[in-house]
Amino acid sequence: MIRALVIEGDPRLRDIIEVGLETFQAFDVDRVKDASAISMVAERGYDLLLVNADVEEKGDGLKIIRQIRDMNQTVEIIVLAEGKAMRTMTKEKSACNIFSVIPLPINEQHFYKTIARARDRIVAKQAAAKGQSRPPME
């Protein structure tokens, strides 16, 4: 099972993302709407974070990502962004070790492909941590 945390202030978008993740049947999804995500990441072992660049319409996404990266270098991070935030996050992608930046509004095909790539990467990491050369087949 892959533990995922959705950090999104808009309840409708949070629901869309959660339903999208649950279609893979590999994700255990938690959700939060603000910077309290930082303490949740510290307490629980998440494999994947989906962060809106504009959390609670304050533009706190990058700040949250940087604080999380200070304590956890291995969690995969996918950022959702639009407009100016999209350009900012794309520039910060390498520096913050962001897996992918997904433009808003969400394009379903792009979203599912990105989630599938992240899932495959996480499964491979989990298998390597268990000393397996290849991940188990589903």
Mean pLDDT of 48-72: 89
> Can you give the pLDDT at residue 34?
87
Backbone φ, ψ for residue 133 (5° rounding): -75, -30
Q: Which carries the bigger pLDDT value, residue 135 or residue 44? A: 44
Q: Is the pLDDT of residue 21 over 80?
A: yes
Q: Is the pLDDT of residue 137 over 80?
A: no
Report d(CA 32, CA 27) in Å as an integer.
16
| Adjacent-strand bridge partners of 48 | 4, 76
Mean pLDDT of 35-51: 93
E strands within 1-138? 2-7, 27-32, 48-52, 76-81, 100-103
> Can you give the pLDDT at residue 91?
94
Position 55 confidence tier, pLDDT thresholds 50, 70, 90: confident
Position 117 confidence tier, pLDDT thresholds 50, 70, 90: very high
**pLDDT more than 70, % of the chain:** 94
Q: Which domains does the chain have, with CATH numbers?
A: 2-129 (3.40.50.2300)
> Can you give the pLDDT at residue 128?
92
User: Which H or E run includes 125?
Assistant: helix 108-129
Of 19-23, 24-28, 56-60, the least confident: 56-60
